């Protein structure tokens, strides 16, 4: 495994793509409403990315058919946009990748449609809080396995479990690079690669209620938990700068 260390000018380019992701997520969140189809949201997202000078990085990636992964209710990740009309009380996950000038950004969020119940609110908050707290504790010299152990512990303390078999990842000249960043610990936390200045990667907690074992649906993409319950997913692209993690996938100038 080879983990790239990016120069400041390279991180700026990743930040530009990541900012476009954040702006697109904000734009789509403003269009999430009862009655809109996920296919309509996808089209809005793809066109908006073009206005920002970017390309929808997920379209065609590994054969994925659309620009935005849109995951509704029990689908935690990799949902394919369709004619499904969002309903009051639904949960919808939006996962977007953008490429600008050969550099990539990636982020995701899960939001409620209309009024959602307390269980759904809790699992959405768990994925968001897990992500933000994980970013906050990152420091240079920490091992990636320590980060994975922290993420898993945080999720379990909230009463949920991480989705297994899927992970965060490095990003830069390709949408997915080394390292793989699990949301649970495999092996020992004091082993493996350390985090260093110049690394850029995506952290993305994916949360299930009771069973973290993943099941892929018949379309070959949509991932659900074997417990059949609703899940959630949040993601940011971060860069290690001055020995700590800085979020790139926000709508701010880098």
Which CATH number is 179's domain given?
A: 3.90.230.10
1: in domain: no
Residue 29 domain-assigned?
A: yes
Mean pLDDT (the chain) is 97
Cβ-based neighbours of 228, under 8 Å, separated by 6 or more: 74
In a domain, 165, yes or no: yes
Tens of pLDDT, residues 101-158? 999 999 999 999 999 999 999 999 999 999 999 999 999 999 999 999 999 999 999 9
Q: Give the pLDDT of residue 121.
A: 98
Tokens 């297994």 — which residue? 164
The model's pLDDT over 48-80, given as tens digits with 9 standing for 90+, comes to 999 999 999 999 999 999 999 999 999 999 999
Q: Is residue 34 part of a domain?
A: yes
The count of structural domains within the chain is 1
pLDDT given at position 136: 98
- Token match 């369709």: residue? 82
Tell me, what DSSP letter sits at residue 63? Answer: G
Residue with tokens 């880098």: 254
For residue 253, the model assigns a pLDDT of 84
Residue 1 above 80 pLDDT?
no
> What CA–CA distance (Å, rounded) separates 127 from 130?
5
Domain housing 135: 8-247
Which pLDDT does position 53 carry in this prediction?
A: 98
């Amino acid at each position: 495994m080879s983990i790239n260390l990016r120069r400041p000018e390279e991180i700026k380019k990743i930040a530009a793509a990541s900012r476009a992701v954040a702006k697109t997520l904000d734009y789509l969140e403003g269009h999430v409403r009862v009655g809109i189809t996920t296919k309509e949201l996808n089209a809005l997202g793809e066109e908006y990315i073009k206005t920002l000078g970017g390309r929808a990085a997920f379209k065609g990636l590994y054969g994925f058919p659309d620009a935005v992964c849109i995951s509704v209710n029990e689908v935690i990740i990799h949902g394919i946009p369709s004619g499904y009309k969002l309903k009051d009380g639904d949960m919808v996950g939006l996962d977007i990748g953008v490429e600008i000038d050969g550099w990539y950004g990636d982020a995701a969020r899960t939001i409620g449609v209309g009024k959602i119940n307390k269980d759904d609110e809790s699992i959405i908050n768990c994925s968001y809080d897990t992500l933000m707290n994980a970013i906050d504790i990152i420091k240079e010299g920490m091992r990636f396995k320590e980060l994975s152990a922290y993420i898993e512990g945080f999720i379990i303390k909230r009463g949920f479990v991480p989705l297994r078999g899927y992970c965060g990842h490095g990003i830069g000249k390709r949408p997915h690079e080394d390292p793989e960043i699990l949301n649970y610990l495999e092996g020992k936390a004091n082993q493996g690669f350390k985090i260093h200045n110049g690394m850029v990667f995506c952290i993305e907690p994916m949360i299930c209620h009771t069973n973290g074992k993943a099941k892929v649906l018949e379309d070959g993409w949509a991932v659900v938990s074997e417990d059949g319950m609703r899940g959630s997913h949040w993601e940011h692209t971060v860069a290690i700068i001055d020995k700590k993690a800085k979020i790139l996938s926000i709508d701010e100038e880098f």
